[in-house]
Amino acid sequence: MPQSLTQTQRLEQRQQLSAQQVLVAKLTELSVEELRARIETECETNPWLEPKDRSSVSDGDMDNYDGSDGFGEDSVSDSDSADSDSFDSFDDFSASSADTADESDWGSDEFPMNYSEERGRREDSEVLNFHDILMSQVGEFDLDDHQRFLLEYLIGSLDDDGLLRIPLYQISDELDINQGVRASEEELQQMLDILKEFEPYGVGARNLCECLLIQVRHNPRLPRRQQIITILEQYVDEFEHNHWDVIRRKMRLTDADVAAIRRSIQRLNPSPGGSVGQSLDEMAHLVVPDFEVKSDEYGKISFRLCENGIPQLQMSDDASGWMNIYETKDEATLRKEVLEGIRYQRDLMERGKLFIQALTQRRNSLMLVMRAIVKLQEPFFREGDETLLRPMRLEDVANATGLDISTVSRVCKSKNVQTDVGNYPLRWFFTNSTMKEGVELSVRHVLSALRALVDSEDKSHPYSDEYLTDALRQQGYDVARRTIAKYREQLGIPNSRMRR
């Protein structure tokens, strides 16, 4: 059988990520807790990497956001440091922020010198005692010995929820009989008023409404705050018996108002003492925020990247001295084992520099993405009302920052932001759009309206999906019945048959 040899020419283009790009991508995906563990591992395996001295580390400031558009044209991921033009809209950007970041300056918070020892001490303390936490705050007030004794006795009289359900006259009798201490109800009330200033807010309350009221008064940024105060002060009986139809009628509220008020109340803690006194293992599931966003009374928004316990890394001073020694030697005169050791140490130094650069790029990307989200969702961060969220996609943030969509996706993966009204996953701010009378709105408007309809229904005759669809269409929302069913499942609302 004859054989032939042929030759063809083909032109193709392939994209291959460098080792540095892969490292940046992996670090960008990590949350603050995961990053802390990753850095600790890297420092243990690379002797040339070390945290900067504590005296040279300054705490990161809150970065002010003035609402202007200050995003640079170039992607941060294309360079080792961000252009200063990318952050022109910050009023007071600290020296440790991304506009001046370099290989040795990327973090914002100091790193404990004895991190492993400090973590070991934390692990040795198995239980956070609620009583001890309150007792530690007694010294913050100027009290005499008698007042201190009364305050500590009140702390010992709290129940597991942190509430004081024992009448003051009974406590007065107990003190007189069991302790030989005379204390009037007026004195005990004065000490109880001091106890109500302790954290967590709500301890020392006499009932649930007072517990929630204390928390509301200490949270000026809580949505619907004044209406909640009115309910907890004037409609206690209706609130305790869940008679929201009566509250709605007396306060002349709409269904949407009631739904928003109930969402805000659900953010409060009815058992301020219940979350304290757990073992550290039981509290391990608590979410550690990667960002913190605050809005002051004037509506000025500021945010920062939370990097508590994360070091500013630098190359050891011994690295340059070690290299200078061996660069002066002739490699031909060195043994093979010595040459291999030199090459290995050089690789470690290069890997350390690349790791610092990757951390810098990660921080720059996170700051750019968070700033874009704050700009796009500015009404929510000012008011705390989720119905103010505007439709937002990954492409919108990518276009605002100049970053690739994949980079934005990695930044938002497993990241959380602490706001004035709660802790939210970063992906929570990305919402699809819906139409209401020709205006593009966030799906959260439909979810809020749907929740309000279900809350206002007669539980003996709950609304069907068809009725909910017609009711929302009458409000101007163009939605299908299957969409309502999907939204109902997202809200955790069972079907009409299960709601009877």
* CATH of residue 474: 1.10.10.60
Are both 215 and 335 inside the same structural domain? no
Are both 241 and 299 inside the same structural domain? no
User: Residue 254: inside a domain, yes or no?
Assistant: yes
- Asked if 309 and 36 touch (Cβ cutoff 8 Å), the reply is yes
User: Residue 123: inside a domain, yes or no?
Assistant: no
Are both 293 and 413 inside the same structural domain? yes
Are both 183 and 99 inside the same structural domain? no
Which residue is listed with tokens 């043994």? Answer: 335
Strand partners, 303: 63, 293
How many domains does the chain contain in total?
4
Are both 416 and 310 inside the same structural domain? yes
- Asked if 238 and 209 touch (Cβ cutoff 8 Å), the reply is no
User: Residue 203: inside a domain, yes or no?
Assistant: no
Q: Domain boundary at 377, 404, 430, which?
A: 430
Are both 423 and 305 inside the same structural domain? yes
User: Residue 124: inside a domain, yes or no?
Assistant: no
Q: Cβ atoms within 10 A of the Cβ of 174, count? A: 15
Q: Cβ atoms within 10 A of the Cβ of 492, count? A: 6
Q: Where are the beta strands (DSSP E) in 385-470?
A: 416-419, 422-425, 433-436, 439-442
- Asked if 382 and 421 touch (Cβ cutoff 8 Å), the reply is no
Q: Is 378 exposed, middle or buried (0-12, 13-18, 19+ CB in 10 A)?
A: middle
User: Residue 200: inside a domain, yes or no?
Assistant: no
User: Residue 183: inside a domain, yes or no?
Assistant: yes
DSSP designation for 406: H
Q: Is 412 exposed, middle or buried (0-12, 13-18, 19+ CB in 10 A)?
A: buried
Angle, CA of 206, 175 and 148, to the nearest 5°: 75
Distance (Å) of CA 12 to CA 8, 27, 83: 13, 31, 34
Are both 444 and 385 inside the same structural domain? no
Are both 314 and 422 inside the same structural domain? yes
Are both 138 and 96 inside the same structural domain? no
Spatial distance between the Cα atoms of 356 and 241, rounded to a whole number of angstroms: 58
Distance (Å) of CA 54 to CA 98, 355, 356, 496: 20, 20, 18, 61
Total residues belonging to the chain: 500
Are both 339 and 408 inside the same structural domain? yes
The stretches in the chain having pLDDT less than 70 are: 1, 13-17, 53-129, 274-287, 319-334, 432-442
Position 482 scores a pLDDT of: 83
Q: Domain boundary at 399, 430, 461, which?
A: 430
For the sheet with 291-295, list strands across it: 63-65, 301-305, 291-295, 416-419, 422-425
Q: Range of 174's domain?
A: 130-195
Spatial distance between the Cα atoms of 136 and 134, rounded to a whole number of angstroms: 5
User: Residue 9: inside a domain, yes or no?
Assistant: no
Are both 358 and 381 inside the same structural domain? yes
Are both 292 and 426 inside the same structural domain? yes
User: Residue 75: inside a domain, yes or no?
Assistant: yes
Position 320 scores a pLDDT of: 63
Q: Domain boundary at 430, 446, 468, which?
A: 430
